[in-house]
Amino acid sequence: MSNRTDVRRVLDTVKAEGRTALTAPEGKVVCEAYGIAVPKEGVATSAADAAKIATAMGFPVVLKIVSPDILHKTEAGGVLVGVKSAEDAQKGYDTIIANAKKYNAKANVLGVQVQEMLTGGQEVIIGAVTDPVFGKLVAFGLGGVLVEVLKDITFRLAPATEADALSMLDGIAAAQILKGVRGAHPVNRDALAKMIQNVSQLIADYPEIAEMDLNPVFATRDDAIAADVRIVVNFSPAPARYRPKHEDIVRDMNRIMKPKAVAVIGASSEAGKIGNSVMKNLINGGYKGQIYPINPSADEIMGRKAYKSVMDVPADIDVAVFAIPAKFVAAAIAECGEKKIPGAVLIPSGFAEVGNHEGQKELVSVAQKYGVRLMGPNIYGFYYTWSNLCATFCTAYDVKGHAALSSQSGGIGMAIIGFSRSAKMGVSAIVGLGNKSDIDEDDLLTFFEQDDNTHIIVQHCEDLKDGRAFAEVAKRVSKKKPVVVLKAGRTSLGSKAASSHTGALAGNDKIYDDVLRQSGVIRARSLREMLEFARALPILPTPKGDNIVIITGAGGSGVLLSDAVVDNGLSLMAFPPDLDGAFKKFIPPFGASGNPVDITGGEPPKTYQNTVRFGLEDPRIHSLILGYWHTIVTPPMVFAKLLAEIVEEMRGKGIDKPVVVSLAGDVEVEEASEYLFDHKIPAYPYSTEIPVDVLGAKYKWARAAGLL
Amino acid sequence: MSNRTDVRRVLDTVKAEGRTALTAPEGKVVCEAYGIAVPKEGVATSAADAAKIATAMGFPVVLKIVSPDILHKTEAGGVLVGVKSAEDAQKGYDTIIANAKKYNAKANVLGVQVQEMLTGGQEVIIGAVTDPVFGKLVAFGLGGVLVEVLKDITFRLAPATEADALSMLDGIAAAQILKGVRGAHPVNRDALAKMIQNVSQLIADYPEIAEMDLNPVFATRDDAIAADVRIVVNFSPAPARYRPKHEDIVRDMNRIMKPKAVAVIGASSEAGKIGNSVMKNLINGGYKGQIYPINPSADEIMGRKAYKSVMDVPADIDVAVFAIPAKFVAAAIAECGEKKIPGAVLIPSGFAEVGNHEGQKELVSVAQKYGVRLMGPNIYGFYYTWSNLCATFCTAYDVKGHAALSSQSGGIGMAIIGFSRSAKMGVSAIVGLGNKSDIDEDDLLTFFEQDDNTHIIVQHCEDLKDGRAFAEVAKRVSKKKPVVVLKAGRTSLGSKAASSHTGALAGNDKIYDDVLRQSGVIRARSLREMLEFARALPILPTPKGDNIVIITGAGGSGVLLSDAVVDNGLSLMAFPPDLDGAFKKFIPPFGASGNPVDITGGEPPKTYQNTVRFGLEDPRIHSLILGYWHTIVTPPMVFAKLLAEIVEEMRGKGIDKPVVVSLAGDVEVEEASEYLFDHKIPAYPYSTEIPVDVLGAKYKWARAAGLL
């Protein structure tokens, strides 16, 4: 194996020659430097030479044109496979040279590569791309139609860990192929994973390597060898984005989100004005810190002394909420900078969202000069309930809880507030990010990570300015707290110019999906699901194992709940005989044995009580899904109360397992569901899927966080 | 082409010899009789013979063992491909015979088949199975790993129409392959479809043909040839289920569902008894027909004269509702029979659901003797609101409307009632089917098809007793009214013994999915979705075209709504310049042009008014999706009222396009959504997906019904 200086030398040559791709021999050098196995090969410069090299290597061989000007070798008639003798090698050389001349008379032909022909095993593709959002990514898929037509390919951030690489082998729909079907040998997973890791390390090490295809790679039970290597370079990659240091983000975000003093720039006494709504929300919301109204033409606003500028305030200010027209914003940020205010909450619109990109750039440049962090512009502001802080012109919200939500769009922000109020959902914060000129999702993650009032972080976003920064932070944070993301714009793949096969296969949303999963993020599939997760996940304990049991009064619910279990990638516990017997003791003789435990319809409260209690007490059972059926024998509120009582009693004994409930019945089940939610048991009327989706999300998180 | 008597002769021979599969030459005869192209071939009985046949045919050829005792030829070493010369054919013959002897010394070897070797084109598989629910099905998939690992295979009821067969070519995930990728020629779709049709006709014509594999079929741009044929027979197929005649079902179901007189067998004055609840619901529900309490030990119940038996009632009775213990049911059915009552609603439990299959069989046998149709047993009964009929022990429900719902499970029935009451959903009927000893989904479809009060039929089921009958009826009914099915038990594939490749690939749920789609049924993915479809579809007009436009006040909602559009297989209308210009006139200059029409956040009611009105008036636009954003400029109820007004005005002018609404905002959007629903506009708070799912379902139905 040659060392990495060889890679540098190859790249320097390519750069010096103004090329955008490596030749096959150059590719081989690079691969060998990174321990990526390639076939035996040599470059022939004459027909006789070709025969000689091939004979030394052993037949069959492949012949391939070597020319920096011919990227699509097959198209150019520059590839011959299955060459079986010295004579054929000689003839083949001449054919290829002739084809190449015909294809491109001006092509600089360096010779013909003679390569050991790999056969057998499974053809796969390993590649790499530079994504505008996430940067360097490594890709893996099976060769042929699967990757071509079904886009059955998976991505990870580069460099990829061994676990990442192994997860890619299971991350394609046709994963089973790798395990050997129709009597084929399974591939050597370690060899494949190692190659994925090596490719990911290579592209991570060299910013100028933009795209890469190893296609096909022959994966056998013994090894993995890349039969063809294509490497595309770009010597002027986009510069890395500026990121404040972690401790600076934490310090500034804490002052912004939990301020001791707030200035309202553009505060007003006039009802209907945004500056008035913000003042009212701050005061009426019960915020206990200092509030400084800033208004050049007022002495006093809502009983507080007003100042002409933040610079006139004779005390420290942690955050300034802006309620002034767009044209005055830049100057006011400068004043905040002079005053050493770490954060500006820019409610004003009139910037990038209306095409005023220059105006927005100006804000950012002023803010960066002074080190002021910007939230917005074009936002509703934010809430931080544990400080009774409503730094927004929207209606106040004060139900304290542990979900921190953010939205890129004001409309979605309003939906969050409406749903929260309707469901009495406890939140720690609701934040509008709007144009994201500065503060974005990863800043919020960094704050909420260390905010003890926040137990789950839920974010709606349409794009990520810096996907890599987000993924890095999310990977760390999601180990501690669930991170849920609703990524909008899933289905607009956009059009991408890509010169590699892997690049062409990289649908934008597939990358988001893979990288978010790699980062431990739970992806919500819809707005309502995002909201349901925000509501339920903080009150649902983390499961300690995979053994899920359904206890139901309605056989029909049991069937639908079982469907939902499978849909969520969960499975029902297979009962050992003693467990089956234990449940059977509590239920009528015709109740269904096994899991689901069907206690049957007409049962009294005692039967629910006994089975649920047993399910919670037996240490082999880790989670319960309950399917309640409304009957006059056990009315909804009777069920809800008995369930809440048992769960509380068990919590008192240190037994705190996830319990989710589906309630089938007349409208009284709505009150019962609310009661259960109030007692920290996620419960849903008229739905067999939401309770299980919620449980599934908690399992997904627990697995990604390494807790299961 | 030989004629069909050849098929009969072959099958008779197979039967006479007690075999369960056809030999290859027999398969060839059968295929040729049905116009299924097979390769040139002949059977050699000596090595010299093999060489001679092969030479006459032209090389390469394939050699295959012919033995009724060797089904898995490759396993037995009984296949040689790519035989290129007379000499090799001779050697190959000997090798195969030797291998066969080694594999099974007792095998009756009839010779070696010499077959034209097909190469090139796309390998596909066409097969057939006999499904326990749906009977004869034809299957299509690509060969190799796609069908093996990804189960990328699709099914249709046999016989399949030309349209069915063509839809199968597009019904697999890898459909694009057939159109030619990587420079390959597209296959001849007509030839493939014809072969699918022929296979489906063959298996439909011969009940004893149980399973069939044409694998592989070589599909080229010119033709489709089945390289290998496997036919499995079963000479004792399950007998066809008894089905009453259509006109009998219609007559009896009309008397049952819209009775002039109802008997309550087991009527009681004692509160808490089921027979009392049923009486109360009938009387208090406002039912105007005759009610006859039947109770051997009472003279009068709830003010009505009681009779000892239905036979004592001096007038016709249309339906008898049973509220007596299981053990008395059979005798009471006989009395209903004597009295010529066409229907018995069997609330009592204690039959198949508790393992009492004999008891249930007895009911059916008594009922069939007298021609009494049975609903249940083990049900809550049914509601038919337009007759004010609550023939159930559950709480009454009386909101008249046009959705007819049914459930197999009582729990799901209760969820239907609860959701309906909560959402004030208008229903025509709610029916419990329970054990489905007799009346099942297709009887209900047949009734609701001709019931003018019903505009949509929504059914929860766990199994279909007779899938073929259901599919046949659903195919007809769904042309007139949307049929929505929530099929529970999707994910329990069960284990099936199957001796063909196609059989082994036939996952139960995949078949349900394909056949329901073939029948024009909309499949709900969840309980809540089923309920939302039931609520929204009847009030949503049928779209007259594919041009969908989103008008939104929140850009963020626009993005999520667009995602939902794509998720539902819909697409946004591409605006011609004049349309774009027309919308732009109504919105601020920075509003987003194109579709979605982003009117931006702070707009007054007028902007919603103008854009919605224009969208409804322009005949090129067929459906509107609205994304409302709660602001103080246009509060929720202001928006709701203006929208309802415009839509009503347009309906007055004969313009009735589907309009669905997503409302993002504070809790007032809930009231606004209700108001809109009351004005026949489906509207949803805090959700961008439900409105589009509902619209998508209407489109799916309109397409399946041939209205689009």
**Of residues B658 and B632, more confidently modeled:** B658
3-class DSSP assignment, residue A123: strand
- The answer as to whether A392 is a domain residue is no
B662: β partners:
B627, B684
- pLDDT, one tens digit per residue, over A303-341 is 999 999 999 999 999 999 999 999 999 999 999 999 999
Residue B498: its pLDDT value, please?
Answer: 39
Mean pLDDT across B15-36: 94
Residue A415: list chain B partners with CB under 8 A. 664-665, 685-686
Are A563 and A645 contained in the same domain? yes
Integer Cα distance of A78 and B446 in angstroms: 66
In a domain, A478, yes or no: yes
pLDDT score of A530: 98
d(CA A103, CA A83): 22
Place B245 in a pLDDT band, splitting at 50, 70 and 90. very high
- Inspect the interface and report whether the beta carbons of A554 and B354 lie closer than 8 Å: no
B11 touches chain A (CB under 8 A): no
CA–CA separation, B404 and A263 (whole Å): 59
What pLDDT was estimated at residue A504? 54
A156 in the same domain as A79? no
- How far is it, in rounded angstroms, from Cα A335 to Cα A341? 9
For residues A402 and A339, the answer to whether their CB atoms sit within 8 Å is no
Q: C-alpha angle A224/A230/A231, rounded to 5°?
A: 115
A174, A417, A665 ranked by CB distance to B415: nearest: A665
Question: Is B144 found in the same domain as B215?
Answer: yes
Token pair for residue B687? 């959700």
Indicate if A15 and A48 belong to the same structural domain.
yes
Query: From CA A413, how far away is CA A251, in angstroms rounded?
Result: 26
Instruction: Decide: B155 and B512 in contact? Cβ < 8 Å.
Output: no
Find the closest chain A residue to B570 by CA distance. Answer: A491
Q: Which residues of A touch B565 (CB under 8 A)?
A: 491
Interface of A with B in 636-665 (CB under 8 A): 664-665
Q: Does residue A475 fall inside a structural domain? A: yes
Task: Give the CA distances from residue B32 to residues A476, A647, B37, B136, B214, in Å, rounded to whole numbers and listed in that order.
Answer: 66, 69, 7, 20, 13
CATH of the domain at A45: 3.30.1490.20
Number of domain units in chain B: 5
**Does A676 lie in the same domain as A548?**
yes
pLDDT for residue B241: 79
* B residues 268-297 lying closer than 8 A (beta carbon) to A: 272
The token duo for A60 is 């069959």
Are A656 and A558 part of one and the same domain?
A: yes
Q: Provide the pLDDT for residue B505.
A: 52
User: Does the CB of B568 have a partner CB in chain A at under 8 Å?
Assistant: no
Q: How far is CA A585 from CA A33, A552, A606, A611, A618, in A?
A: 67, 15, 12, 9, 15
| C-beta atoms of B407 and A556 within 8 A | yes
Looking at residues B173-188, what average pLDDT do you find? Answer: 89
Contact B686 A491 (CB under 8 A): no
Looking at residue B306, which CATH number applies to its domain? 3.40.50.720
How far apart are the CA of B317 and the nearest CA of chain A, in angstroms?
30
B47 and B93 Cβ atoms separated by less than 8 Å:
yes
Q: Does A237 touch chain B (CB under 8 A)?
A: no
DSSP notation for B24-54: HHHHHHHHHHTT-----EEEESSHHHHHHHH
In-domain check, residue B592: yes
Domain finish residue from A87, A116, A145:
A116
| A560 and A496 in a common domain | no
Taking only the tens place, the pLDDT of each residue in B649-680 is: 999 999 999 999 999 999 999 999 999 999 99
Distance from C-alpha of A589 to C-alpha of A608, rounded to nearest angstrom: 15
Per CB-CB distance under 8 Å, the chain A contacts of B559 are 409, 462, 488-489, 492
**A490 residue type, one letter:** R
Residue A159 preceded by cis peptide, ω within 30: yes
Within this chain, do residues B531 and B596 fall inside the same structural domain, yes or no?
Answer: no
A685 CB neighbours in chain B (<8 A) are 415, 418-419, 422
Yes or no, beta carbons of A412 and B146 under 8 Å apart: no
Residue-level pLDDT at A497: 36
Question: Would you say residue B31 lies in a domain?
Answer: yes
- Please indicate if any CB of chain A lies within 8 Å of the CB of B40: no
Residue B391 located in a structural domain: no
Q: What is the mean pLDDT of residues B358-380?
A: 96
Least confident of A499-513, A692-706, B111-125, B205-219: A499-513
Q: What is the C-alpha separation between B132 and B211, in angstroms, rounded?
A: 12
Å from B13 to nearest chain A CA?
Answer: 33
Contact A410 B567 (CB under 8 A): no
Q: Cβ of A145 and B667 within 8 Å?
A: no
Determine, for residues A177 and B460 on separate chains, whether the beta-carbon distance falls below 8 Å.
no
Q: Quick check: B351 contacting A, CB < 8 Å?
A: no
Average pLDDT, chain A: 93
Residues of A in contact with B526 (CB under 8 A): 560, 564, 687-689
Supply the DSSP symbol for B538.
G
CB contact under 8 A, B353 and A555: yes
Q: How far apart are CA A408 and CA A436, in angstroms?
A: 8
Chain A residues within 8 A of B685 when measuring between CB atoms: 415, 418-419, 422
B254 plus B179 within the same structural domain: no
Q: Quick: pLDDT tens for B255-311.
A: 999 999 999 999 999 998 999 999 999 999 999 999 999 999 999 999 999 999 999
Q: Please state the φ and ψ torsions of residue A475, each to the nearest 5 degrees.
A: -60, -40
Chain-chain contact of B556 with A670 (C-beta, under 8 angstroms): no
Q: Which residues of B touch A553 (CB under 8 A)?
A: 411
Note the pLDDT tens digit of each residue in B540-556: 999 999 999 999 998 89
Q: In this complex, is the C-beta atom of B574 within 8 Å of any C-beta atom belonging to chain A? A: no
Chain A residues touching B173 at Cβ < 8 A: 150
How confident is the model over A99-139, as pLDDT tens digits? 999 999 999 999 999 998 887 789 999 999 999 889 999 99
Query: Is A103 at the interface with chain B, CB within 8 A?
Result: no
DSSP reduced 3-state for A550 = strand
Q: Do A665 and B460 touch (CB under 8 A)?
A: no
Residues 417-436 of A with CB under 8 A from B: 417-419, 421-422
pLDDT at B276: 96
Which of A74, A274, A399, A409 is the mutation pick for testing B, counting most B CBs within 10 A? A409
DSSP B69: T
pLDDT at residue A502 in the model: 54
Q: What pLDDT does A555 receive?
A: 87
Structural domain including A187 reads 122-233
Asked if A408 lies within 8 A of B556 by C-beta distance, the reply is: yes
Instruction: Look up the ipTM and state it.
Output: 0.91
Given a cut of 50, the residues of chain A with pLDDT beneath it are 1-2, 492-499
The CATH code of the domain that includes B171 is: 3.30.470.20
From the number of C-beta atoms within 10 Å of its C-beta (0-12, 13-18, 19+), residue B613 rates as middle
User: Which tokens belong to A598?
Assistant: 């069907």
Rounded Cα gap, residues B704 and B708, in angstroms: 8
Amino acid at A300: E
pLDDT value of position A178 = 94
Tell me what pLDDT residue B507 has. Answer: 58
Q: Which residue has the higher pLDDT, A210 or B494?
A: A210
Residue at a domain's end among A539, A567, A602: A539
B210 contact A CB<8A: no
The pLDDT of residue B495: 31
Residues B593 and B654 grouped into a single domain = yes
With CB atoms and an 8 Å threshold, state whether A462 touches B145.
no
Q: Which residue of B has its CA nearest to A588?
A: B354
Contact between residue A254 and residue A222 where contact means Cβ atoms under 8 Å apart: no
Q: Please check whether residue A239 lies inside any domain of the structure.
A: no
- Contact, B320 vs B343, CB < 8 A? yes
At how many degrees (to 10) do helices B467-477 and B508-518 cross?
Answer: 30
Q: Is the pLDDT of residue B180 over 60?
A: yes
What share of chain B has pLDDT > 90, as a percent? 84
The CA-based angle A220-A224-A228, given to 5 degrees, is: 120
Say yes or no: A183 contacts chain B, CB-CB below 8 A: no
Assess whether pLDDT exceeds 70 at residue B138: yes
State the CATH number of the domain containing residue A667.
3.40.50.261
Closest CB to B411: pick one of A182, A629, A690: A629
Residue of B181, B394, B418 with shortest CB distance to A148? B181
The domain boundary residue, chosen from B116, B134, B150: B116
Q: Do A527 and B173 touch (CB under 8 A)?
A: no
What is the rounded CA–CA span in Å between residue B447 and residue B249? 8
CA distance B412 to chain A (A): 6
* DSSP tag of B485: E
Distance from CA of B672 to the nearest CA of A (A): 13
User: Are B10 and B110 in the same domain?
Assistant: yes
Confidence tier at B354 by pLDDT (50, 70, 90): confident
Look at residue A178 and tell me if it is in a domain: yes
pLDDT class for B493, splitting at 50, 70, 90?
A: very low
Of A354, A418, A565, which has the smallest distance from its Cβ to B669's Cβ?
A418
Residue-level pLDDT at A1: 43
Across chain B, mean pLDDT equals 93
Q: Are B416 and B423 in contact (CB under 8 A)?
A: no
Q: Per 3-state DSSP, what percentage of chain A is helix, strand, and coil (rounded to 5)?
A: 40, 20, 40
Q: Annotate B581-599 with DSSP letters as a single string.
A: HHHHHHS-TTSPPSSSEE-
Same domain, B462 and B443: yes
Identify whether the C-beta of residue B140 lies closer than 8 Å to the C-beta of residue B167: no
